[in-house]
Amino acid sequence: MDILSRLRAQADQAEVAHVRDEATQIGFEANRLKSSKVVQTRGVAVRIVKDGRLGFAASSDESAVEKLVANAAESAAYGAEIPIEFPAPAPGPQVKTFDRTAAELPVERLVEIGEKMIDLITAKDPDARVDVKLERGIEELSIRNQAGADVSVRRSPLSVLLHVSRVRGDDVLSIWDAEGSTAWDGRVMALARRLERKVELAQESATLESGRMPVLFSPTGALVLWVPLVQGLNGESVYANISPIADRTGEKLFDEKLTIVDDPTIDGAFSSATHDDEGVPHRRHVLIERGVLRGFVHDLRTAARLGVESTGNGARTLFTPPRPSTTNIVFEPGETPLAEMIAGIDRGLLVEDALGLGQGNVVSGAFSNTLSLGFKIEKGEIVGRVKDVTVAGNVYDLLRDISAVSREVGWVHRSHRLPYILLPEVSVATKQR
């Protein structure tokens, strides 16, 4: 008797998820090759519903059937009462998530990519110290349940994390970014070119006075805004009644220039797949449309608690049960060229990177972040890097009035496709020397 049958014999509902991941990792530190290793994760996770209570167990030993069944039953005995229903079979979208070229990139090629990135940046600034982490692999997830769902997802994630630091006396520059996809499309080198440009701009220094001023957020800098907003759109925040917008679906809460979509159906994107980690079919899900709140992201658990349907946003690891999570976040571009946006600013700030993302009372929408990289804009030009600068505000207030959204967009931090966004008045504080 297989594990699903064993679970079904003891529970009202049962789910079995097999996880098989293998990743090859290459690491550079301070411009030099430092490490090369292969990391494997294999195991099985189970969930059951017994007498209305949800139980979970997991093991890296796929043969430990008896122990898994017993642990799941014990977990359910003390588990939360949730009216959850594991999904019936349903087809997912046609989406490309596996590319053999990406999955089988030779170690020598990964090393070559890392060396090219380092050479590109140090040619611009010989004092730069560059850390690179490259990873390619194969992820396989199979899910079966008592309702008949039998889903297999195979992906070939390829990612690069790049960190650049430079120390000149008391001047410390530290910037980082990450790029990812499931296809070999050359996008990873775009990451190095992006940081090369930042390093070049950071050569000149400027000073900025505190005050309220126009602030232009780059795709990486815009994470200052999107991290709090995404928290408010998460089904767990809605169920806990801590999201400020929990009961405001259908209302116009933001500027009409704001349209945000959770889209796991983009070919080759880092977080794309046919189904989520609970076997629910993925779909393109509009969260905010022209400023109007359209919905939230739910897994089966939060959906059941709130009496709605799962949006296909359940995400798990081997040893943690599913939780609602976004996939590929897409902020629809605007119509204004970036050059025009910069040219229209008489005195303002360009936010490129910030520290402390996700810290503090994030779900309220409040943020206060010190910049790791920002630039002064004066009379329509970027004139130099500013230091010891903090931006603060509340996204639910600031996003009601957006001056412009760029037509240029960029993939940042693997699974966010964002434009530049210009806000007319943001609080900026600088450290007085």
Give pLDDT tens digits for 220-242. 999 999 999 999 999 999 999 99
Task: Return d(Cα 128, Cα 177) in angstroms, integer.
Answer: 15
The pLDDT score that the predictor gives to residue 432 is 63
* Domain 3-199 CATH assignment equals 3.50.50.60: no
**Across all residues in the chain, what is the average pLDDT?**
95
The per-residue DSSP string of 66-126 comes to HHHHHHHHHHHHTS-B----PPPP----------HHHHT--HHHHHHHHHHHHHHHHHH-T
If you average pLDDT over residues 365-374, what whole number do you get? Answer: 94
| Average confidence (pLDDT) over 109-130 | 95
Q: How confident is the model at residue 433 (pLDDT cuts 50, 70, 90)?
A: low
Arithmetic mean of pLDDT, 186-190 = 80
pLDDT of residue 147: 97
From-to residues of CATH 3.30.2290.10 in the chain: 3-199
DSSP β-ladder status, 171-181 and 285-289: unpaired
DSSP, residue by residue, 282-305: P--EEEEETTEE---B--HHHHHH
- Token pair of 337, please? 């060229």
The pLDDT-based confidence of 301 (bands split at 50, 70, 90) is: very high
Instruction: Identify the pLDDT of residue 130.
Output: 97
- Separation between Cα atoms, residue 257 and residue 400, nearest integer Å: 9
* Nearest one of 173, 301, 165 to 240, comparing CA atoms: 301
How many Å apart are CA 23 and CA 334, to the nearest integer?
Answer: 37
Beta bridge mates, 213 = 426
pLDDT of residue 363: 87
Q: What is the pLDDT of residue 358?
A: 75
Does 339 have pLDDT greater than 60?
Answer: yes
pTM for the whole structure: 0.95
